[in-house]
Chain A
Amino acid sequence: MKMDLWIMIAVFIVSTALGYKLISDVPSLLHTPLMSGMNALSGITVLGAVVAAALALGYGSRILGILAIVLAMINVVGGFLVTDRMLRMFKSDK
Chain B
Amino acid sequence: MNFGLYEIISGVVVIAVLLGIRFLSSPRTSVAGNRLGALAMLGSIIVVLLYRGILGSFEVLAGLVAGGLIGLLLAIRVTMLRMPQLVALLNGFGGLASLLVASVVVLEGGSRLTTANILSSQLAIIVGGITFGGSMVAAAKLDGKVRQKPLLLRGHSVMSLLLLLFMAALAAYGPFARAGGAHAIMTGAALASLAFGVLFAVRIGGADMPVTISLLNASSGLAASICGFALGDYLLIAIGAVVGAAGLILTRIMCRAMNRSLLDILTGRTAYADGIVQAPVPQAPEGERAAPESEESRIEKVLGIISVAQTVIVVPGYGMAVSQAQSRVKELYDILTSRGTEVRFAIHPVAGRMPGHMNVLLAEVDIPYEVLCELDDINPCFGETDLVIIVGACDVVNPAAISAEGTPIYGMPILHVHEAKHVVVFNLDTSPGYSCVENPLYEKSNVIMMLGNATDSLAALLERIR
A residues neighboring B (CB under 8 Å): 1, 4-5, 7-8, 11-20, 22-58, 60-62, 64-94
List the A residue with the shortest CB-CB distance to B69: A77
Contact residues in B for A75 (Cβ distance below 8 Å): 71, 90, 93-94, 97
In the bound assembly, the distance between CA atoms of A80 and B460 in angstroms comes to: 40
Given contacts A15-B238, A80-B38, whether A20 and B108 have CB atoms under 8 Å apart is: no
Contact in complex: A48, B233 (CB < 8 Å): yes
Determine whether the beta carbon of A30 is less than 8 Å from that of B30.
Answer: yes
Instruction: Name 26 interchain pairs, CB-CB below 8 A, sorted by A.
Output: A18-B18, A23-B21, A23-B24, A25-B25, A27-B374, A31-B359, A33-B34, A39-B217, A42-B221, A42-B224, A43-B94, A44-B236, A48-B227, A50-B45, A50-B54, A50-B64, A53-B63, A61-B103, A69-B63, A76-B67, A77-B72, A81-B72, A82-B78, A89-B360, A90-B27, A94-B370
- Max chain B CB contacts within 10 Å: which of A36, A48, A70, A77? A48
Please pick, from A31, A38, A49, the residue contacting B356 in the complex, using a CB distance under 8 A: A31
Question: A-B pairs with CB below 8 Å: how many?
Answer: 370
Q: Check A93/B371 contact, CB under 8 A, given A18-B242, A19-B241.
A: yes
CB of B116 within 8 Å of the partner chain: yes
- Least Cβ–Cβ distance between B184 and chain A, in angstroms: 14
DSSP majority for the A interface? helix
Residue pair A41, B41 in contact (C-beta under 8 Å) = yes
Q: How many whole Å from A56's CB to the nearest CB in chain B?
A: 5
Which of the four size classes fits the interface of chain B? 35 or more
* A45:B369 contact, CB within 8 angstroms: no
B408 to chain A, nearest CB (A): 24
> Would you give the shortest CB distance from A85 to chain B, in whole angstroms?
6
Q: Is B134 an interface residue (CB 8 A)?
A: no
Closest 4 pairs between A and B when the two form their complex, measured CB to CB: A73-B67, A31-B356, A78-B71, A77-B71
Please measure, in the bound complex, the distance between the C-alpha atom of A70 and the C-alpha atom of B69, giving whole angstroms: 10
User: Which residues of the other chain, A, contact B114 by a CB distance below 8 angstroms?
Assistant: 1
Residues of B within 8 A of A40 (CB): 37-38, 41
